[in-house]
């Protein structure tokens, strides 16, 4: 009877799904395919708005369009139904009248639930309040939504559900869509900037015998046939420089790297890194490249070079200030901070400022600690921090003016490191010594430190030209430009613990 036919017996999620499934079954029984294979549309919602931008209220055109989208809202006043359908973030109203559609077509409209995908053909019109609409004469269900969407007005608020069910988040939360629109525009812009400069985009292995190129703990996995442990990469650096040795000249990679560390609003175990290497360039060229990459990405994604940080506008137009790490640290400490002071003196400086240090730390690590504690968090507008101590920069070339520092920089914005680059060390003998220092530190118990990469050294022995290299945290760049403060808002599917039941 009535209850069976409409599936209205009971309530709750299970009953709602059953009711909607019953609509699918009924359509099949009537000879309609509820999940058709394809649908031809002539216009997207955005196209319609662009093509008929300012029709007077109450206009009826004879312009035919065919559109498709997801039903987001439905206003049913009996013999007339207004449907608001969403099509890639743009909305369009369908004006569905019984007079125009007849019994069958109107029944199809009546049966539509919020969340259903629908295709419709009709003429462009405006209602008497001026809303651009399509007066439909044909409506087709393209896919039934069996599961009800989250609240049409409040959206999805629970962060857990937003991340686990990103599909639902994207349907109902415009802010979520916007952050990823920014992301996609940023990534496209980065590629464009590189392509315009003659770089080749490359892809290098994710599975490494030894993860190297950054101070980080790797994920360990296992290959059955080779019967060996493999490590997921923590950086792409050494492979790209092998390509420079091979004469590829200008290369970049945008790829996922994996670091087996804690999660936070700024850290996801897998994240996207951009690295680039350019033969015959040094750190100054790389800083200029970085400025262009970021300014272009901002312009391409936002249409402006101004971003908002903590409620204040910040202009990203280059050039940005270049300040040596030792000078920034010295200014903040009110006394000289430089690795030449030696470990003992630097420990004293650290203690004077309440900075905790460890016995194993080198002079360079102490300098870095002073910088991180006293300076890093206070940088808001972009600053290129240069001249990192040699002992914390095992792959960077020694500064031509100061043997204790390197030709390196890190870009800081909003208290966060966004990029890191340097004049690449290309002397295989010196690189071996630096690797050996890393290995010693690792053997002494610092799991993040590196090992001696013999194959990389072999490559360097063939000769690597002078090279400038860059690494950019793409997720953090997107966070800055999208104006969000958690990395989970710019990673579609952030790492979560397994879900427990439903």
Partner RNA sequence: GCCCCUCUAGCUCAAUGGUAGAGCAGUGGACUUUUAAUCCAUUGGUUCAGGGUUCGAGCCCCUGGGGGGGCACCA
CA angle 164, 169, 175 (to 5 degrees): 130
Residues in region 206-235 near RNA by CB under 7 A: 214-217
Binding window for RNA (CB under 7 A); candidates: 236-244, 325-333, 454-462, 492-500 = 492-500
Task: Verify binding: residue 293, RNA, rule CB under 7 A.
Answer: no
Site string for RNA, 425-464 (x = CB under 7 A): -----------------------x----------------
Cβ(496)–Cβ(163) below 8 Å: yes
Minimum Å gap between C-beta 320 and RNA is 17
- Binding segment toward RNA, per CB under 7 A, in 7-15, 202-210, 311-319, 453-461: 7-15
Q: Does residue 308 bind RNA (CB under 7 A)? A: no
What CA–CA distance (Å, rounded) separates 212 from 223? Answer: 19
SS3 label, residue 181? helix
Which range in 68-76, 195-203, 275-283, 303-311 contacts RNA by CB under 7 A? Answer: 68-76
Residue placing its CB nearer to RNA in the complex, 66 or 161: 161
When asked if residue 359 is in the footprint of RNA (CB under 7 A), the reply is: no
Q: Which is nearer to RNA, 461 or 499 (CB)?
A: 499
Task: Say how many residues touch RNA, by CB under 7 A.
Answer: 79
Nearest to 42 by CA among 108, 87, 78, 5: 87
DSSP state string for 344-391: HHHHHHHHHTT----TT--HHHHHHHHHHHHTGGG--S-EEEE--BGG
Neighbours of 108 (CB within 10 A): 19
Structure token digits, residue 338: 């430089």
20 versus 250: smaller Cβ distance to RNA: 20
Q: Does 476 bind RNA (CB under 7 A)?
A: yes
The answer to the question of residue 262 lying near RNA (CB under 7 A) is: yes
Which span sits near RNA by CB under 7 A: 48-56, 334-342, 435-443, 486-494? 486-494
Residue among 3 and 401 whose Cβ is closer to RNA: 3
Nearer to RNA, 80 or 279 (CB): 80
Interface residue with RNA among 97, 362, 439, 451 (CB under 7 A) is 97
Q: In whole angstroms, give the CA distance from residue 416 to residue 385.
A: 12
| 173 or 431: CB nearest RNA | 173
Buried b (16+ CB within 10 A) or exposed e, 242-280: bbbbeeebbbbbbbebbbeeeeeebebeebbbbbbbbbe
Using CB under 7 A, pick the residue from 36, 102, 159, 246 that binds RNA: 159
Q: Report in angstroms how near the CB of residue 258 gets to RNA at its nearest.
A: 8
Give the residue, chosen from 63, 113, 137, 209, that forms a contact with RNA under the rule CB under 7 A.
Answer: 113
C-beta of residue 297 within 8 angstroms of C-beta of residue 481: yes
Write the CA distances from 26 to 4, 19, 33, 437, integer angstroms.
11, 11, 10, 73
Q: How far is the CB of 149 from RNA (least distance, A)?
A: 7
Rounded distance between C-alpha atoms, residue 32 and residue 26, angstroms? 9
Chain centroid, CA 112 distance in Å: 35
State which residue, 68 or 86, has the beta carbon closest to RNA. Answer: 86
Tell me which residue has tokens 């809303």.
Answer: 131
396 binding RNA? (CB under 7 A): no
* 102 in contact with RNA (CB under 7 A): no
Q: Whose Cβ is closer to RNA: residue 155's or residue 483's? A: 155
Q: Which of residues 19-58 bind RNA (CB under 7 A)?
A: 19, 58
**Angle at which helices 428-443 and 454-462 pack, to 10 degrees?**
170
Q: Of 188, 317, 360, 496, which one interacts with RNA (CB under 7 A)?
A: 496
CA distance 80 to 77: 5
Element (H, E) at 5: helix 2-6
Which of 39, 52, 82, 219 lies at the binding interface for RNA (CB under 7 A)? 82
Among 33-41, 155-163, 176-184, 460-468, the segment contacting RNA (CB under 7 A): 155-163
Please select the residue that binds RNA; options are 88, 152, 352, 458, rule is CB under 7 A. Answer: 152
Q: Distance from CA of residue 362 to its chain's centroid?
A: 35
Q: Which of 45, 65, 84, 434 touches RNA by CB under 7 A?
A: 84
76 in contact with RNA (CB under 7 A): yes
Nearer to RNA, 89 or 246 (CB): 89
The C-alpha atoms of residue 393 and residue 407 are separated, in whole angstroms, by 9
Quick check: 379 binds RNA (CB under 7 A)? no
417 binds RNA (CB under 7 A): yes
CB closer to RNA, 169 vs 245 = 169
Bridge partners of 139? 120
| Cα–Cα distance, 214 to 239 (Å, whole number) | 13
Contact with RNA (CB under 7 A) among 4, 31, 77, 167? 77
Half-sphere exposure for 135 (CA within 13 Å, toward CB): 15
């Amino acid at each position: 009877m009535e209850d069976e036919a409409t599936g209205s017996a009971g309530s709750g999620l299970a009953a709602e799904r059953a009711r909607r499934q019953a609509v699918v079954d009924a359509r099949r029984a009537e000879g309609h395919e509820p999940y058709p294979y394809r649908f031809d549309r002539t216009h997207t919602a955005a196209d319609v708005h662009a093509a008929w931008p300012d029709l007077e209220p109450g206009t009826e055109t004879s312009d035919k369009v065919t559109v498709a989208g997801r039903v987001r809202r439905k206003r049913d006043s009996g013999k007339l139904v207004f449907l608001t359908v969403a099509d890639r973030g743009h909305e369009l109203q369908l004006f569905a009248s019984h007079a125009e559609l007849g019994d069958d077509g109107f029944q199809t409209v009546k049966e539509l639930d919020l969340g259903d995908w629908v295709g419709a053909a009709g003429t462009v019109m405006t209602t008497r309040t001026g809303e651009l609409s399509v007066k439909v004469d044909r409506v087709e269900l393209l896919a039934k939504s069996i599961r009800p969407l989250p609240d049409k007005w409040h959206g999805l608020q629970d962060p857990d559900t937003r991340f686990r069910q990103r599909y639902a988040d994207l349907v109902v939360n415009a802010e979520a869509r916007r952050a990823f629109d920014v992301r996609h525009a940023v990534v496209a812009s980065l590629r464009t900037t590189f392509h315009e400069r003659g770089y080749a985009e490359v892809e290098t292995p994710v599975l490494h015998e030894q993860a190297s190129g950054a101070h980080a703990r790797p994920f360990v996995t296992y290959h059955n046939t080779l019967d060996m442990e493999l490590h997921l990469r923590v950086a792409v650096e050494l492979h790209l420089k092998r390509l420079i040795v091979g004469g590829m000249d200008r290369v970049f990679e945008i790829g996922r790297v994996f670091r087996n560390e804690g999660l936070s609003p700024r850290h996801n175990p897998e994240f996207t890194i951009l690295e680039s290497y350019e033969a015959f360039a040094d750190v100054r060229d790389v800083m200029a490249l970085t400025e262009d990459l970021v300014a272009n990405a901002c312009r391409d994604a936002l249409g402006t070079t101004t971003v908002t940080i903590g409620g204040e506008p910040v202009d990203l137009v280059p050039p940005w200030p270049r300040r040596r790490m030792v000078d920034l640290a010295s200014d903040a400490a009110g006394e000289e901070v430089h690795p030449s002071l030696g470990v003992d003196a630097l420990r004293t400086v650290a203690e004077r400022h309440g900075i905790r240090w460890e016995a194993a730390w080198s002079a360079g690590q102490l300098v870095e600690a002073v910088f991180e504690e006293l300076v890093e968090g206070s940088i808001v507008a972009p600053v290129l921090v240069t001249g990192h101590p040699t002992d914390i920069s095992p792959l960077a070339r020694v500064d031509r003016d100061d043997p204790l520092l390197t030709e390196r920089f890190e870009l800081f914005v909003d208290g966060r490191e966004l990029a890191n680059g340097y004049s690449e060390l290309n002397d295989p003998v010196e690189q071996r010594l630096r690797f050996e220092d890393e290995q010693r530190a690792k053997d002494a118990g610092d799991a993040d430190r590196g090992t001696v990469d013999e194959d990389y050294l072999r490559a360097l022995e063939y000769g690597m030209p002078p090279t400038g290299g860059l690494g950019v945290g793409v997720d953090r760049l997107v966070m800055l430009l999208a104006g969000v403060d958690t990395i989970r808002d710019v990673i579609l599917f952030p790492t979560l613990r397994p879900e427990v039941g439903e």
